[in-house]
Amino acid sequence: MFARIVYESFRHQARRKLLAGIAITLGVAVATAMIAVATDIGDKINRELRSYGANLLVTPQEDTLDVEVGGVNLKPPSDGAFLNESDLPKIRGTFWHNNIVGFSPMLPVTVKIGYGGGAKDVTLVGTYFNKPLHFGKQDFTTGVRITHPWWKVEGSCGNGALPRPGRVEDSPAACGWPNDDSQDVLLGERLATKLARKPGDTLDVAGRQLTISGILSTGAAEDDQIVAPLALAQQILGKPGAVRRVYVSALTKPQDAFATQDPNTMTPEARDRWYCSPYVQSIAYQLQEVIPHSHAEQIRQVAQNEGTVLSRIKGLMLLVTLAALFASALAVSAAMATAIFERRVEVGLMKALGAGNLAVSAIFFAEALLLALVGGIAGFSAGALLARQIGLSIFNSQISIEPVLFPVILAIAVIVTFAGSAAAIRRAVKFDPVFALRGEG
């Protein structure tokens, strides 16, 4: 009899139930999409933010030491210590090596260039452009074209930068970039304007005739500098294998209170958890382990902005989810209230025949549960499609839907439906059978 009453309710009030089901489906679909995107957005947002550049800086440890006696700084007035280029591939040997997007060593050298019949001091910066390296069984490519993607180079193909089909990094956009084993250089656009030089011209640098492969525009200090392959800068400086600093771009998770703790003061269990979490601090710690005599620290403005952007996006998604579920609950409440009011005579008859409040409410909650399950399944399917569409349109990749999300979504659908139905069902059990049978509410 119980099942037949529920069935007849759906058969005779198909329109009301359909409207309530659609409201549940829409609310659950939005919730599914937002939860799926929020759980998968961390890595995707990190990769998007990596377009803003490196978030870690590695320098010689000696550069962080200031020796003062009586207020007098005794640090030698030199260009500082250097890192060893041969240690750099070890970056791919850290625990979080898969999170290392790329790294770029830098070696600034003051050189003299021919200018107006005389000489002019400028800074030449040696670096990797698109350097193939090897560590263990790994072959990888790294350089400023990965860590400094905002650098723009204007030049012509044919100056050692011919594109190789099938490789993104060697697409036609590579025209003008020097090869890392060449004697070609990039000239900052402001310096190029002063010197009246263009791609293909030669430039006298420290007594060497170097070819300008492209004009570099960064909007920063590099516009007044020369950027050359690292090996060339080392030759000019007379220090083979020397590196002054290394910019590292890594995928990290937003820092929290645990991330900022000193690992040397942690218990072994806490330290292992900290070490095995992709915090920018733990990755910096690991970089110091693999590069001897180095000091690694986060570039704070970039790292803090990542956490802020991610937190705000997730907060917005939570707000949209709650708004959609609230609207769904209101729609269910309105539909259920109307349906129950139309069935007040039926409720009065059941109570006149001896049905208690529990029996009456059980019928309506069973109807609500069935609506929630059907709407939850339909909403989960629609939300999964919406999440994938969001991933393709915004991140150009699919959002992965975890199977564990399905029971969570069903539970949300049930909670929303019961919350929307509770007030109407409570009113139904309070119907006076005398007035209900007479059609009075």
Instruction: Identify the weakest region by mean pLDDT among 261-275, 302-316, 396-410.
Output: 302-316
pLDDT over 80 at 323, yes or no? yes
Q: Alpha carbon of 146 to those of 106, 149, 303, 323: distances in Å?
A: 14, 6, 17, 40
At 53, the pLDDT band (50, 70, 90 cuts) reads low
| CA 256 distance to own-chain centroid | 16
pLDDT over 50 at 273, yes or no? yes
Q: What is the pLDDT of residue 390?
A: 83
Are 237 and 259 contacting, i.e. CB atoms less than 8 angstroms apart? Answer: no
Q: Alpha carbon of 322 to those of 22, 293, 316, 319, 328: distances in Å?
A: 17, 51, 10, 5, 10
pLDDT over 60 at 259, yes or no? yes
Q: What is the pLDDT of residue 353?
A: 61
Q: What is the pLDDT of residue 161?
A: 42
Average pLDDT over all residues of the chain: 80
| CA 186 distance to own-chain centroid | 31
Which of 81-95, 157-171, 301-315 is the most confident on average?
Answer: 81-95
Q: What is the pLDDT of residue 45?
A: 60
The dihedrals phi and psi of 122, each to the nearest 5 degrees, come to: -135, 165
| CA 293 distance to own-chain centroid | 31
Instruction: Identify the weakest region by mean pLDDT among 141-150, 151-160, 165-174, 411-420.
Output: 165-174
Q: Where are the domains of the chain?
A: 2-44+309-438, 55-298
At 213, the pLDDT band (50, 70, 90 cuts) reads very high
At 246, the pLDDT band (50, 70, 90 cuts) reads very high
Q: Per-residue pLDDT averaged across 283-309, rounded?
A: 78
Which residue reads 């060339």 in tokens?
232
Q: Per-residue pLDDT averaged across 364-377, rounded?
A: 87
Q: Is 66 exposed, middle or buried (0-12, 13-18, 19+ CB in 10 A)?
A: exposed
Q: What is the pLDDT of residue 257?
A: 78
Query: What radius of gyration do the chain's Cα atoms show?
Result: 33
Q: What is the pLDDT of residue 361?
A: 73
Hey, which residues does 58 pair with through a beta bridge?
246, 296
What would the 3-class secondary structure string for the chain be?
A: CHHHHHHHHHHHCHHHHHHHHHHHHHHHHHHHHHHHHHHHHHHHHHHHHHHHCCCEEEEEHHHHCCCEECCEECCCCCCCCCEEHHHHHHHHHCCCHHHEEEEEEEEEEEEEEEECCEEEEEEEEEECCCEEEEECCEEEEECHHHHCCCCEEEECCCCCCCCCCCCHHHCHHHCCCCCCCCCEEEEEHHHHHHHCCCCCCEEEECCEEEEEEEEEECCCHHHHCEEEEHHHHHHHHCCCCEECEEEEEECCCCCCCCCCCCHHHCCHHHHHHHHCCCCHHHHHHHHHHHCCCEEEEECHHHHHHHHHHHHHHHHHHHHHHHHHHHHHHHHHHHHHHHHHHHCHHHHHHHHHCCCCHHHHHHHHHHHHHHHHHHHHHHHHHHHHHHHHHHHHHHHCCCCCCCCCHHHHHHHHHHHHHHHHHHHHHHHHHCCCHHHHHCCCC
Two tokens, residue 404? 């564990």
Q: What is the pLDDT of residue 435?
A: 53
Q: What is the pLDDT of residue 331?
A: 87
Are 199 and 214 contacting, i.e. CB atoms less than 8 angstroms apart? Answer: yes
pLDDT over 80 at 68, yes or no? no
Q: What is the pLDDT of residue 171?
A: 47
Hey, which residues does 227 pair with through a beta bridge?
125, 186
* Non-local CB neighbours of 44 within 8 Å, separated by 6+ positions: 391, 395, 397
Q: What is the pLDDT of residue 61?
A: 86
What pTM was computed for the model? 0.61
Q: How many CA atoms lie within 13 A of 75 on its CB side?
A: 13
Q: What is the pLDDT of residue 75?
A: 45
Q: Per-residue pLDDT averaged across 406-431, rounded?
A: 83
CA distance 300 to 160: 37
Number of neighbouring beta carbons within 10 Å of residue 351 = 21
Which residue reads 């979504």 in tokens?
409
Q: Alpha carbon of 208 to those of 122, 185, 236: distances in Å?
A: 14, 12, 9
Instruction: Identify the weakest region by mean pLDDT among 105-119, 254-268, 296-310, 400-414.
Output: 296-310
Q: Which of 85, 88, 83 is nearest to 135 (CA)?
A: 88
Higher pLDDT, 142 or 345: 142
pLDDT over 70 at 1, yes or no? no
At 180, the pLDDT band (50, 70, 90 cuts) reads very high
